[in-house]
């Protein structure tokens, strides 16, 4: 009887759900073709109404953080109205063509009443794909990809790298177990708990950001835990080389290590290993193994070796990649053409060396202040160079060859006021044990030369761009293509977005001609420190009001943002100081 009474109440007209009186929609689902187009919804409201701002828009920062705003529509969708008044309003949605599928659930509020409408474009079905398939495909299409977690960049948002046998893609954002974004999807209470080495299948739409292929805000479909884990963090080894012990934890029937076949600067100690072939390590204790590595000294560019550690059981095998990085052999300041001495620094080095050359090849950049002789008979020239173009604090280039270490064939190959980059040995030459002359002497030649007129063009070291000149020049460049030449830009720091950090080695800030943030600004983006080197702890930090000269390549980013090219510019001087 009680059940019958409840059923009678449940079926009564008085308790049935009626459409909201304050706001109604003529349809709650509309579709737009993948080729692009429009769809309309009629809103009938008794008072003012609006779309609620539910869609998160994220701007990525250099330090890995995000600036977040919320909008009423996703970025791919527009509407003829996002709000209205009482009565009927026809809202037309528009979306451009897409190569995949996308969908948005919009919420409309009118007082306490709310209605929802779903706008879908294209097919939402995910395509099974490899990493190579994703890389080759157009943006916007949704894929299902299986691969191994090779590294984790950010646990809060779930940013990490997924790789298979065909390539690597970046996962930018992972939904947690509850389908939420930016909610610690790896380590949080609703996180997945995956680690480097785990095999994961994910679904998400493809995007390309600054050349990086990504799947965005993915859904995790499946996780297979790895049978092996590297306990030792990936190291950066000094250029002198060192020994490294790598500890492995495994669940399979053994642990194996494989070095790249072409890697001759890392070796596995204590075994008869062969590069390119797996080497078995005995358990120590039962579920761990220690791999002893030796890294040789480096006399060249920075380098990396990617080792593969493996373990397997009767049904599964897990491979995990582990990278050793080694610092480059970097010549000291003044010993490369990319980081030459000023003339004042070259003179100081001469005084330090004394009257007998130390045999080191040095580089210095200066302005020809006077010419003693250009001999076409012997093919050499003797002239003075200085920082300011005068002979007061000059360095002598004694019997120098011309460009590319070739003999002079005419006297007009150099002129007073020319800016030259010189190469050779430095010495504090002495005559009669009393008169000392700092000079380049012995195998001296001109590496590069700018005539006096070229050396004083806007954007050069002697005549840096103002921020306004830099903006005007960069606005003429092709979008996204950095200049081939380095340019100089001078001004005062008026706003700092990111100070230098030891983690990134760069800073991003704005300069104006007078340091006033209301004046025209030029952006110094992701800029290195003195000598075109990453900033490290202990270096001088920048502050607003500092006078700077920055040297490097310029770019018209996205066709609308003039700036220095990322990590292709450096501070040439700071408050008049050069290092």
CA gap 94, 152 in Å, rounded = 37
Give the pLDDT band of residue 279 (cuts 50, 70, 90).
Answer: low
C-alpha count within 13 angstroms, C-beta hemisphere, residue 102: 23
Does the pLDDT value for residue 14 go beyond 60? no
Give the pLDDT band of residue 503 (cuts 50, 70, 90).
Answer: confident
pLDDT in tens, 22-76: 999 999 999 999 899 999 999 999 999 999 998 877 666 666 566 778 899 988 8
pTM score of the predicted model: 0.49
CA gap 114, 104 in Å, rounded = 16
Q: What angle do CA 98, 102, 105 make, to 5 degrees?
A: 140
pLDDT in tens, 320-343: 889 999 988 878 889 999 889 999
pLDDT in tens, 203-218: 998 888 877 899 999 9
CA gap 376, 442 in Å, rounded = 18
Please say whether the beta carbons of 297 and 328 come within 8 A. Answer: no
Give the pLDDT band of residue 483 (cuts 50, 70, 90).
Answer: very high
CA gap 340, 334 in Å, rounded = 4
All domains of the chain, ordered by start, with CATH? Answer: 23-121 (2.60.40.10), 127-224 (2.40.50.200), 239-312 (no CATH), 343-454 (2.40.50.140), 467-574 (2.40.50.140)
Q: What is the CA radius of gyration of the chain?
A: 33
Q: Greater confidence, 14 or 70?
A: 70
Contacts of 354 (CB under 8 A, 6+ apart): 427, 428
pLDDT at position 532: 85
Give the pLDDT band of residue 143 (cuts 50, 70, 90).
Answer: very high
pLDDT in tens, 84-105: 999 999 999 999 988 777 888 9
CA gap 474, 554 in Å, rounded = 7
Q: What is the DSSP letter of 412?
A: G
Mean pLDDT, range 12-31, rounded to an integer: 68
Average pLDDT over all residues of the chain: 88
Mean pLDDT, range 132-144, rounded to an integer: 88
pLDDT in tens, 370-429: 999 999 999 999 999 999 899 989 999 999 999 999 999 999 999 999 999 999 999 998
Does the pLDDT value for residue 232 go beyond 70? yes
């Amino acid at each position: 009887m009680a059940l019958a009474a409840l059923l009678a109440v449940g079926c009564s007209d008085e308790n049935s759900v009626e459409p909201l009186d304050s706001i109604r929609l003529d349809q709650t689902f509309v579709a737009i073709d993948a080729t692009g187009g429009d769809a309309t919804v009629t809103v009938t409201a008794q008072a003012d109404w609006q779309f609620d701002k539910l869609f998160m828009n994220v701007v990525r920062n250099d330090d890995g953080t995000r600036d977040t705003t919320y909008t009423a529509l996703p970025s791919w969708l527009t509407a003829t109205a996002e709000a209205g008044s009482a009565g009927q309003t026809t809202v037309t949605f528009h979306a451009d063509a897409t190569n995949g599928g996308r969908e948005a659930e919009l919420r409309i509020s009118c007082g306490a009443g709310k209605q929802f409408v779903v706008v879908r474009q294209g097919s939402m079905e995910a395509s099974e794909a490899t990493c190579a398939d994703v890389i080759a495909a157009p943006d916007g299409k949704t894929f299902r990809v299986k691969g191994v977690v090779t590294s984790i960049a950010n646990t809060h948002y779930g940013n990490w790298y997924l790789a298979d046998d065909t390539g690597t893609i970046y996962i930018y954002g992972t939904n947690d177990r509850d389908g939420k974004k930016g909610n610690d999807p790896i380590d949080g209470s609703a996180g997945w708990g995956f680690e480097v080495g785990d095999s994961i299948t994910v679904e998400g739409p493809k995007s390309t950001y600054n050349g990086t292929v990504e799947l965005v805000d993915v859904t995790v479909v499946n996780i297979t835990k790895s049978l092996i884990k590297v306990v030792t963090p990936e190291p950066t080894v000094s250029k002198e080389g060192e020994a490294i012990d790598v500890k492995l934890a495994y669940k399979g029937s053994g642990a194996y290590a494989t070095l790249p076949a072409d890697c001759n600067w890392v070796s596995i100690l204590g075994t008869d290993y062969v590069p390119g072939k797996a080497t078995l390590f005995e358990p120590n204790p039962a579920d761990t193994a220690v791999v002893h590595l030796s890294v040789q000294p480096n006399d060249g560019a920075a380098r990396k070796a990617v080792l593969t550690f493996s373990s397997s059981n009767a049904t599964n095998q897990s491979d995990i990649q582990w990278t050793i990085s080694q610092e480059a052999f970097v010549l000291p300041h003044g010993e490369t053409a990319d980081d030459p001495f000023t003339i004042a620094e070259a003179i100081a080095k001469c005084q330090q060396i004394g009257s007998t050359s130390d045999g080191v090849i040095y580089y210095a950049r200066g302005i020809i202040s006077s010419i003693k002789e250009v001999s076409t008979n012997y093919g050499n020239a003797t002239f003075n160079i200085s920082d300011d173009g005068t002979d007061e604090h000059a360095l002598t280039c004694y019997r120098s060859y011309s460009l590319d270490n070739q003999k002079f064939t005419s006297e007009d190959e150099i002129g007073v006021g020319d800016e030259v980059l010189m190469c050779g040995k430095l010495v504090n030459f002495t005559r009669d044990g009393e008169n000392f002359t700092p000079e380049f002497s012995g195998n001296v030649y001109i590496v590069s030369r700018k005539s006096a007129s070229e050396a004083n063009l806007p954007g050069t070291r002697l005549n840096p761009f103002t921020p306004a000149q830099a903006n005007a020049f960069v606005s003429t460049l092709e979008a996204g293509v950095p200049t081939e030449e380095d340019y100089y830009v001078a001004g005062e720091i008026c706003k700092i977005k990111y100070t230098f950090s030891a983690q990134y080695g760069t800073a991003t800030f704005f300069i104006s001609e007078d340091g006033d943030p209301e004046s025209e600004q030029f952006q110094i983006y992701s800029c290195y420190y003195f000598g075109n080197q990453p900033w490290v702890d202990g270096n001088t930090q920048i502050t607003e009001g500092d006078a700077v000269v920055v040297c490097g390549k310029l770019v018209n980013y996205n066709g609308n943002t003039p700036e220095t090219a990322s990590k292709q510019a450096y501070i040439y001087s700071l408050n008049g100081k050069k290092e």
